[in-house]
Structure formats: structure tokens, C-alpha cells
């Protein structure tokens, strides 16, 4: 399997590395909250038709690598997509 996707005349790989933390980097992502966040990220990515390559929920931050079938804006603000 190739690392690249293909369209009619191009090959591409569009990945996003997203890191975010709670305010003041409080250590709150433990227990059920961490598990629910993990599940919610997978649900959100499936809604946006993206593939989770890597997901790591630590107690004070989250690392996420997402692969998109097409380069698109990734956001949770509820704004319109291009």
C-alpha cells in the first residue's frame, strides 16, 4: 500500500499534526474524561471523513495525526467548510 493517495493526475498525502492542551496545562485528561475524549475524536474524524493515523491522550495534552482524503480545513468552531 502506498503512502500517497492518487487522483486522476496527481499523487498527494495530506496529514495534519495537531497538539492541544487544556488551559494552564491542567492535568485533567484522566479516567473517563480521557476515554471520552479519545472516543469523541474518532467520532469527529469519521464525521469529517478523515483517518486517525495516531492519537495519544496524555493527562495534560493531546497529540493527533490525521490523514485527510483531500486537503481541507480542520476545525471545531462550527464554521463552514471549503
pLDDT of residue 52: 95
pLDDT at residue 6, as a whole number: 79
Between 5 and 65, where is the model more confident?
65
pLDDT digits (tens, 9 = 90+) for 22-69: 999 999 999 999 999 999 999 999 998 889 999 999 999 999 999 987
* CA 43 to centroid of chain Cα atoms: 10
- 33 located within any domain: yes
Q: Is residue 81 part of a domain?
A: no
pLDDT higher for 42 or 1? Answer: 42
Residue 76 falls inside a structural domain:
no
Q: Which three cell numbers stand for residue 81?
A: 467548510
| 38, part of any domain | yes
Alpha-carbon distance 75 to 82, whole Å?
12
What cell does 54 get?
495516531
Question: Residue 34 domain-assigned?
Answer: yes
- List the beta bridge partners of residue 78: none
Q: State how many domains the chain has.
A: 1
* Structural domain boundaries enclosing 49: 15-68
CATH number of the domain residue 46 falls in: 3.30.70.1290
What is the reported pLDDT for 79? Answer: 52
Is residue 9 assigned to a domain?
no
Quote the CA–CA distance of 10 and 13 in Å, as a whole number.
10
User: In the 8-state DSSP scheme, what is residue 52?
Assistant: E
Amino acid at each position: 500500500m502506498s503512502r500517497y493517495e492518487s487522483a486522476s493526475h496527481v499523487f498527494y498525502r495530506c496529514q495534519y499534526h495537531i497538539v492541544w492542551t487544556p488551559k494552564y496545562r491542567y492535568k485533567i485528561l484522566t479516567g473517563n474524561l480521557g476515554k471520552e475524549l479519545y472516543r469523541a475524536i474518532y467520532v469527529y474524524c469519521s464525521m469529517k471523513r478523515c483517518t486517525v493515523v495516531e492519537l495519544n491522550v496524555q493527562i495534560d495534552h493531546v497529540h493527533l495525526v490525521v490523514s485527510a482524503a483531500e486537503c481541507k480545513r480542520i476545525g471545531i468552531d462550527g464554521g463552514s467548510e471549503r
